[in-house]
Amino acid sequence: MSNPLLIFWAQLFGRRGPISRAPSRVHIESSSQASSTIFLVMRRMRAPLIILIVIFSVSVVGLTLIPGIGPDGQPARISLFEAFYFMSYTATTIGFGELPWPFTPAQRLWVTVSIYLSVIGWAYAIGSLLTLVQDRSFRQALALRRFTRKVTRLREPFLLMVGYGRAGELLAKDFDALGQQLVVIDESSDRVDALDLGSYHADIPGLVADAANPHHLSAAGLEHPSCAGVLALTNDDETNLAVTMTAALLRPDLPVVSRTISAPIADRMRAFGNPAVVNPFDRFGEHLRLALNAPASYQLLTWLEAGPGAELPERGHPPAVGRWVMCGYGRFGRELTADLRAANLEVTIIEPAEQGAPEPGVIVGDASEPEVLVRADLPSAVGLVAGTDNDTTNLSMLATARRLNPQLFLAARQNQPTSAALFEAMRVDALLVPTEVVAHEVYAQISTPMLWRFIQEMPARGDQWAADLIQRLRHNCGRELPALWKVKLDGEQAPALSSWLAEGRVVLGDLLRSPEDRERRLRVVPLLLLRDGEAVLTPDGATVLARDDELLFAGHGSERRELESTLVVDSTGAYVLFDQHIPSSWVWRKLSRKSPTPSTPADRGGMTSHRG
Amino acid sequence: MNLEKVIFGFFVLLAATLNFGFFIGDIANPDLHNIYELFAALAVSLIATVLKFGDRTQIGAVHLATSLVADLQLIAASVVWVWAREISAQGMTAVHTASMVSLSGGALLANLVSVVLLVTETVTFHRG
């Protein structure tokens, strides 16, 4: 189908799925707030304008009533029009002089009074206008208007991001690299300024507003037909809950991803629809458990979650057995202790003050004091978690622990982005940066749902499988994570293959050949095959594809374009799949009387497993 | 009693009465139409317009529209007067006077609508 006419025909009469979108049940008027402020501003200009009109009228009328002397020496009054002209240029400080003829002292007296009056009037009016322009609520109203207009004009699908903190910034970079449009709301004007200063390809509209207010969410395009999802990423659990609630009630069809560090809030979020709740502490525990049991799986997971262009992370070698010491038994410590204990590891807890009933293996004391750490018997432990919410405390604990036992596996929680350099210099083995965990998690869930499926099913396949896959990805795509993209083998994305797919003659290994030279394999790694809700991880070359199969590939853009030409152009498809040459124009096809479908399948001798 | 309402009603009515005072009389006779009355009508009408700024209700919008119409007509009438007195060679002829007064007549109609709106608003006002 390289012929433009054929493509046009297929576009016009090809089957297409109906585009369904649940309409919003409630409509929220968001522009009324903005316009009300404009009205307030008009109202505030009333007094200065009226004073100006009064001063002007009195001066003009007064000037016409005072007798003057004409050029012929006879008493003459100047007309209303002349007086208006004179006052206009005098009051605005232009001052052409005494027109139409020189004034008498009486007239000059009146003009002096009216000059002072009119200067006061103008100063008052202009001053009020400038004050209004500086006014915070007025500027906010203008910003809201501009923002609303920008959002209304968006025609491509966009994600509504609430909270542009550290996590939001990381995510915005990832999504911008994928070409995904965003709309951002944040409470702090500093953060929205940072958004404006950020170097993004797309123009990302940002609004300074409280996102817990449904009006602001509506202004940010929650009810826009192109809104593709809502990300609640603020530091405040209540706000995230409010956003989740609003989105679930107004747009039940939208996917919602919400961040929280509290389990009860997570439960309350789940009461509304089916939001994906990201708890960074919880996820870090799961990651640490995965890292202990399957270092290669963990390496693959962090690589895939890090977004396009990420370097392959180092594979750690954490101790699989032994006793752990947990410093800081807050929310994070509790989550992590539960995870470690679930992995059948012994955990010694150090907590500053006794809370409730003493548990076994709890040492009471300040973990930043070296003697308390000595009591935890570090030389016999294998790992230490510095999990307080204070970076200085965490760093000093790590330093003391390393002095007492240099072999210790050190895990730490980083709270402030500014401490990143210190933790890096400390060379900790596992570092939790809550904002980064959130960013990676949300990226994996939103960028393509198939990646999320892959990540969920991946740990079950074992460590050796993950190590092999990393090898294969490195071999085909290099040390930097290639773009991940999905293909659905339907009439829209793979029109050239539809008849062959129905006959069951398309084999994955053949599909991944180069259209220029079918002996060359495309440097593309199929990660996941999704068919009728069933997922097959890393399908091998012998897999026979069917209609409506969904595939997730990893590979560079140039390879992707080659594969796309195979999927769309049927003569290319015939060459790549069956090594047959068919004419690409309709007339020549009729003349040559060749069916675009080859009668015999190509020999499958050259088809081997696609493992690299 | 609301002082804002008093001032508002005062200016709306004064604009209408001044306009009426200027309009009444033989349409072509310049002696019967005092230019100071036209000036006062225009100034008061401008003040009434500014007073109507910033009202979000439907009736407020119509109020503002009628005032703008009256201002426009009165400004046109003033321009006709300036033209006749200062620019044209014939001075205040019957033709010029008639066109000036009829323009102010149009403004009077707009001002009357304003007054009707004011009265309607007052009559339908219920103290909840």
CATH number of the domain enclosing A407: 3.40.50.720
Same domain, A101 and A56: yes
Cβ of residue A57 closer than 8 Å to a chain B Cβ: yes
Same domain, A104 and A187: no
pLDDT at A288 over 50: yes
Q: Specify the number of domains making up chain A.
A: 4
Position A4 in a domain:
no
Residues 6 or more apart in contact with residue B126 via CB below 8 angstroms = none
Tell me, what's the pLDDT at B46? 94
3-state secondary structure of A327: strand
Position A253 in a domain:
yes
**DSSP of A533-561, one letter per residue?**
TEEEES--TTPBP-TT-EEEEEE-HHHHH
Q: E strand or H helix at A257, and its extent?
A: strand A256-259
3-state secondary structure of A187: coil
Q: How many CB atoms lie within 10 A of CB A401?
A: 24
pLDDT band at A603 (very low <50, low <70, confident <90, very high): very low
Of A45, A56, A60, the CB nearest to B53: A45
For residue B86, give how far its alpha carbon lies from the nearest alpha carbon of chain A (Å): 8
Same domain, A101 and A164: no
Map tokens 């304003």 to a residue.
B114
Tell me, what's the pLDDT at A556? 83
Long-range contacts made by residues B105-109, C-beta under 8 angstroms, separation at least 24? B105/B23, B106/B69, B106/B73, B107/B19, B107/B41, B107/B45, B107/B69, B107/B70, B107/B71, B107/B72, B107/B73, B107/B74, B107/B77, B108/B16, B108/B19, B108/B20, B108/B23
Tell me, what's the pLDDT at A24? 46
Q: Which of A287-296, A419-428, B78-87: highest mean pLDDT?
A: B78-87
Asked if the Cβ–Cβ distance from B53 to A54 is below 8 Å, we say: no
Partnered with residue A485 across adjacent β-strands are A553
Buried b / exposed e over A318-351, threshold 16 CB at 10 Å, is: bbeeebbbbbbbebbbbbbbebbeebebebbbbb
Asked if the Cβ–Cβ distance from A53 to B53 is below 8 Å, we say: no
Q: Nearest-CA residue of chain B relative to A49?
A: B50
Residues 6 or more apart in contact with residue A268 via CB below 8 angstroms = A241
Position A473 in a domain:
no
Q: How many CB atoms lie within 10 A of CB A265?
A: 19
**How far apart, in whole angstroms, are the C-alpha atoms of residue A543 and residue A533?**
17
Name the least confident of A28-37, A178-187, A295-304, A530-539. A28-37
Same domain, A181 and A68: no
User: Cα-flanking dihedrals φ and ψ of residue A201, to 5°?
Assistant: -70, -45
Question: Which segments of A332-491 are extended strands (E)?
Answer: 346-351, 362-364, 383-386, 409-413, 430-432, 484-488
| Best residue in B39, B51, B86 for a mutation probing chain A (most A CBs within 10 Å) | B39
Same domain, A129 and A173: no
Average pLDDT over residues A345-350: 82
Cβ of residue A79 closer than 8 Å to a chain B Cβ: yes
Residues 6 or more apart in contact with residue A496 via CB below 8 angstroms = A1, A566, A567, A568, A569, A570, A572, A573
Angle at A59 between CA A57 and CA A65, to 5 degrees: 100
Cβ(A373)–Cβ(A347) below 8 Å: no
For residue B11, give how far its alpha carbon lies from the nearest alpha carbon of chain A (Å): 11
**How far apart, in whole angstroms, are the C-alpha atoms of residue A211 and residue A241?**
11
Residues on chain B touching A40 (C-beta within 8 angstroms): 54
Tell me, what's the pLDDT at B107? 96
Same domain, A129 and A68: yes
Average pLDDT over residues A202-222: 87
Map tokens 């003391």 to a residue.
A400
Which DSSP category does A519 fall into? T
Same domain, A274 and A328: no
Q: A307 versus A304: which is more confidently predicted? A: A304
pLDDT at A1 over 60: no
Q: In what order do the strands lie in the sheet with A524-531?
A: A484-488, A550-555, A524-531, A534-537
Same domain, A93 and A199: no
Length of chain B: 128
- The complex's ipTM? 0.83
Q: A153 versus A340: which is more confidently predicted? A: A153
Q: Nearest-CA residue of chain B relative to A50?
A: B47
The residue segments making up the domain with residue A228 are 156-278
Partnered with residue A162 across adjacent β-strands are A185, A232
For residue B112, give how far its alpha carbon lies from the nearest alpha carbon of chain A (Å): 22
| Best residue in B53, B64, B67, B85 for a mutation probing chain A (most A CBs within 10 Å) | B53
Q: B46 versus A303: which is more confidently predicted? A: B46
Asked if the Cβ–Cβ distance from A61 to B54 is below 8 Å, we say: no
Position A442 in a domain:
no
Residues on chain B touching A37 (C-beta within 8 angstroms): none
Residues on chain B touching A43 (C-beta within 8 angstroms): 53-54
Position A151 in a domain:
no
**How far apart, in whole angstroms, are the C-alpha atoms of residue A397 and residue A29?**
54
pLDDT band at A3 (very low <50, low <70, confident <90, very high): low
| Residue contacts between A and B (CB atoms, under 8 Å) | 47
Measured CA distances, A302 to A308, A436, A520 (Å) = 12, 11, 31
Same domain, A162 and A256: yes
Name the least confident of A14-18, A150-154, A168-172, B93-97. A14-18
For residue B13, give how far its alpha carbon lies from the nearest alpha carbon of chain A (Å): 17
Identify whether A100 is preceded by a cis peptide bond (ω within 30 of 0): yes
3-state secondary structure of A349: strand
Question: Which segments of A491-537 are extended strands (E)?
Answer: 524-531, 534-537
Residue-wise pLDDT tens digits, A474-532: 888 888 887 788 888 888 888 888 888 888 888 888 888 888 888 888 888 888 888 88
Residues on chain A touching B46 (C-beta within 8 angstroms): 53
Map tokens 């307080």 to a residue.
A388
Tell me, what's the pLDDT at A354? 58
Q: Parse chain B into domains and list their residue ranges.
A: 3-122
For residue A32, give how far its alpha carbon lies from the nearest alpha carbon of chain B (Å): 10
Name the least confident of A2-11, A477-486, B8-17. A2-11
Chain B neighbours among A 27-56 (CB < 8 Å)? Answer: 35-36, 39-46, 49-50, 53-54, 56
pLDDT band at A43 (very low <50, low <70, confident <90, very high): confident
Partnered with residue A206 across adjacent β-strands are A184
Asked if the Cβ–Cβ distance from B54 to A40 is below 8 Å, we say: yes
pLDDT band at B44 (very low <50, low <70, confident <90, very high): very high
CA–centroid distance for A500 within its chain: 39
Tell me, what's the pLDDT at A606? 40
Mean pLDDT, chain A, integer: 80
Position A437 in a domain:
no
pLDDT band at B88 (very low <50, low <70, confident <90, very high): confident
Q: B63 versus A609: which is more confidently predicted? A: B63
Cβ(A408)–Cβ(A380) below 8 Å: no
Cβ of residue A61 closer than 8 Å to a chain B Cβ: yes
Partnered with residue A344 across adjacent β-strands are none
Cβ(B38)–Cβ(B77) below 8 Å: yes
Average pLDDT over residues A45-68: 91
Position A197 in a domain:
yes
Structure tokens at A226: 């192109």
Same domain, A423 and A494: no
Which DSSP category does A225 fall into? T
| Chain B interface, Cβ < 8 Å to A | 35-36, 39-40, 43, 46-47, 50-51, 53-56, 81-82, 85-86
Map tokens 């915070």 to a residue.
A136
Cβ(A230)–Cβ(A242) below 8 Å: no
pLDDT at A596 over 60: no
Residues on chain A touching B39 (C-beta within 8 angstroms): 57, 60-61, 80
Average pLDDT over residues A154-169: 88
Residues on chain A touching B54 (C-beta within 8 angstroms): 39-44, 46
Residue-wise pLDDT tens digits, A66-94: 888 888 888 888 888 999 999 999 888 88
Of B50, B82, B86, the CB nearest to A53: B50
Residues on chain B touching A36 (C-beta within 8 angstroms): 56
pLDDT band at B4 (very low <50, low <70, confident <90, very high): confident
Asked if the Cβ–Cβ distance from A54 to B47 is below 8 Å, we say: yes
Q: Nearest-CA residue of chain B relative to A46?
A: B50
Same domain, A160 and A116: no
pLDDT at A19 over 70: no
User: Cα-flanking dihedrals φ and ψ of residue A135, to 5°?
Assistant: -60, 135
Name the least confident of A18-27, A179-188, A394-403, B29-38. A18-27
Residues 6 or more apart in contact with residue B37 via CB below 8 angstroms = B18, B21, B22
Same domain, A111 and A160: no
pLDDT band at B127 (very low <50, low <70, confident <90, very high): low
User: Cα-flanking dihedrals φ and ψ of residue A488, to 5°?
Assistant: -110, 125
Position A612 in a domain:
no
Of B40, B43, B53, the CB nearest to A46: B53
Asked if the Cβ–Cβ distance from A79 to B86 is below 8 Å, we say: yes
